[in-house]
Amino acid sequence: MMLVLPISSAQCERGFSAQRRIKDSTRASMSVETVENLIRISADGPPLEEFDALPAVRKWQTEGTRSRRPSFSRPSTAQLGLS
């Protein structure tokens, strides 16, 4: 049992720090899955100097057009009380 317990809480603290850095008030609407993925990349990904973004950019470009806010729909004038 002692072999699985961490010696310090440094990794956990780095995770909380990454979460605060990634999910600030301007990005509060990100999904839990997106935040988890960004934290995982921040904690376990390669250093920025070694990261080659070209494959990811090419994949993003070839996947087609995405809606900026897929769940957003404009309210009708009746819903706004303007009719």
Q: What is the pLDDT of residues 61-70, one digit of tens each?
A: 888 776 666 6
pTM value surpassing 0.85? no
pLDDT of residue 54: 92
Spell out the domain ranges in the chain: 10-62
Q: Is 15 in contact with 36 (CB distance < 8 Å)?
A: no
Cβ partners under 8 Å of residue 6, min gap 6: 12
| Long-range contacts, 2-10 (Cβ 8 Å, 24+) | none
pLDDT, one tens digit per residue, over 45-60 is 888 788 888 998 898 8
